[in-house]
Amino acid sequence: MGHGHGHGHAAGRAADRRRLRWVLAVTASVLVVEVVGALLTGSLALLADAAHMATDAGGVLLALGASYVASLPAGRRSTFGYHRAEVLAALLNALVLLGVCGYLVWAGVGRLFDPADVDAGGLVLFAAVGLVANAVSMAILNRSDTDSLNMRGALYEVYADLLGSVLAVVAGVVIWVTGWLQADAVASLVIAAMILPRSLVLARDAAVVLLEIAPNGLDLDDVGHHLRHVAGVVDVHDLHAWTITSGIPSLSAHVTVTDEALAARGVGAILDELGACVAEHFDVRHATFQVEPVSHEAHEDLGELHGS
C-alpha cells in the first residue's frame, strides 16, 4: 500500500511539472510580447506588467526547479539534500521584486506629473494578449489535484499576472476614451503595490528558514511541555526547531529520563514515544532526540550554544 501511495505521489509530481513547463512557456512568450509592446506604445503600465510577468516567470521556474530538487538524493556532505537551494532562489527572487517595485514607483510618480504619450490602441492589444495567456495558464494549473504548495504558489503568481493584465487593459481603454494619459502611470503604481507585499513576505519567509528560526506556529514551550509528560521524562533541554525548507520542519532535543524508566522500557521504546508525541501534536516528523539518564546530567557539556 505504501508503494502504491509513493508511486501515485511521484506521478502527481510529474504531472505538476508538465503543467509548470507549459505555464512557463506561455508566461515567457507573453513577457517578450509585452516588452516589445511597451517599447512600441511607450506604456509604463505595459512595461510594469511585463516586469510583473518576469518576476512571476521566475516564481514558476522556482516552483519547477523545487519539484526537481526535492527528488534529488542527499550526498555524503549534503546530508539534508539540496532543499535550501529553493530558499536561496526565493530570497533572490524577493530582492529582484523589491528592485522592480522601486523602479515602478519612481517612474510612475514621475509620469503622474509629466505624462508621456501612449498608444492606447496598442496598449489594449498587447495587454489583451497577456490577459488571454494568463487565463490559459490559470486553467492549466487549476487542473492539478496534488494540493502542492509549489503549485499553489505558482497559481497565485499567475493570478497576480491576470490582475496586472486587467489593469493594463483598463489603463489603455481610459486613455483611448478620455485621453487621460496619467491612467498609464496609475496602473503601473497599482501593479507595484500588488508586487510589494508578496516580495516582502517572500523575503521574510526565506530569512526565517536561512536564520533557522522556529517554524511559525510551533511553540517550543508547548513542545517541551508535551515531551515532559512522556512517562519517565524528568527534563527537556537544548530544544531547537528549524525548517530545512518549506514544509519540512525539524526538531532536536536532549531528554533526561529516569534510570528506572530506561531499565524497564529501554531507549528504543522511549524514542518511539517521543517521536510519536511531536508527530501527533505538532506534525513534526523529522526529530532527533538525545536520551540521557538522570545519572549523566552532571557530566553534560552543551558548549556555548546551549538552549533552553
Query: CATH fold of 2-210, please?
Result: Alpha-lytic protease prodomain-like (1.20.1510)
Shortest CA distance to 32 belongs to which of 17, 18, 46, 44?
46
Q: What is the pLDDT of residue 256?
A: 94
Give me the pLDDT at residue 235, please: 94
Averages of pLDDT over each 10 residues, the chain, 308 residues: 44 70 83 86 81 74 71 71 72 80 87 84 86 84 61 69 83 91 88 83 84 88 94 94 81 94 92 94 92 76 52
**In the chain, where does the domain assigned CATH 3.30.70.1350 lie?**
220-299
pLDDT at residue 145, rounded to an integer:
59
What element of type H or E holds 290? strand 286-293
List phi, psi (to 5°) of 255.
-125, 120
* Matching residue, cell 492589444: 125
Question: How close are the terminal C-alpha atoms of the chain, in Å?
Answer: 41
Supply the angle between the helices 44-69 and 182-210 in degrees, to the nearest 10: 20
**Can you tell me the distance from the alpha carbon of 242 to that of 259, in angstroms, rounded to the nearest whole number?**
30
The pLDDT of residue 151 is 64
Residues shown for the chain: 308
Q: Which fold would CATH assign to domain 220-299?
A: Alpha-Beta Plaits (3.30.70)
pLDDT of amino acid 174: 93
How confident is the model at residue 222, as a pLDDT?
95
Check residue 5 and give its pLDDT: 40
pTM, to two decimals: 0.70
User: Which pLDDT score is estimated for 252?
Assistant: 94
> Parallel, antiparallel, or unpaired: how do β-strands 249-257 and 286-293 relate?
parallel
**Chain segment 77-116, per-residue pLDDT in tens:** 776 767 677 677 778 777 877 887 888 889 889 888 888 7
Q: Where in the chain is the domain with CATH 1.20.1510?
A: 2-210
Q: What is the pLDDT of residues 223-237, one digit of tens each?
A: 999 999 999 999 999
pLDDT for the residue numbered 6: 42
Pairing mode, if any, of strands 233-243 and 249-257? antiparallel
**Strands lying side by side in the sheet with 249-257:** 233-243, 249-257, 286-293
pLDDT confidence of residue 264 = 92
Please list, in sequence order, all residues whose beta carbon lies within 8 angstroms of the beta carbon of residue 134, skipping any fewer than 6 positions away: 30, 158, 161, 162, 165
Q: Which of 231, 279, 233, 225 is nearest to 255 (CA)?
A: 233
